Amino acid sequence: MRIGRVRSWETSVGCAARVCGLSLWALVSACGPGGDMSGGSSCPMDTPVSCPSGTPPSYADDVAPVIAARCGACHAPNGQEPSKLFGTYTQVFAQRTSVLGQLHACKMPPAGAPTLTSDERRVVLTWLVCGAPNN
């Protein structure tokens, strides 16, 4: 009886790992060749696969200014997306998975809005991949 439970657990864990891996592959592949999701412009494949060694970007010093400048107008109480506020670390952290997906796939900022520079993308994407620390 115990061996059956262990095998069942191993099967469940293996299946969950495959689903997780497939989801990660889909996210990382979203902007591959032919996967341009930005409305015609090129979407760079610049999301780090893992957190680079060293200190991740600082939320207060590096990330918050980019979010305020590039996202703050829409993600504010009187903006286009008042249900998705980005005014504080806590608000951004609560939505970090969505922010990572949207930024990675070049869905944000929306068409017509100024895009992030390559350095701004690198900073925010690295911070998110590193777990979005409040540093």
Six token digits for residue 4: 């059956």
Q: Answer yes or no: are the C-beta atoms of 62 and 70 closer than 8 Å.
A: no
φ and ψ at residue 98, rounded to 5 degrees: -65, -40
> Residue 107: pLDDT above 70?
yes
Mean pLDDT across the chain: 79
Instruction: Give the model confidence (pLDDT) of 92-101 as tens digits.
Output: 999 999 999 9
Q: Report domain extents, the chain.
A: 31-129
Model confidence band, residue 87 (pLDDT cutoffs 50, 70, 90): very high
How much is the average pLDDT of 8-29?
40
C-alpha span between 101 and 119 (Å, rounded): 18
Q: Answer yes or no: are the C-beta atoms of 27 and 97 closer than 8 Å.
A: no
Task: Indicate the length of the chain as a whole number.
Answer: 135
Contact partners, residue 123, CB within 8 Å, separation at least 6: 57, 62, 63, 66
Q: pTM here? A: 0.70
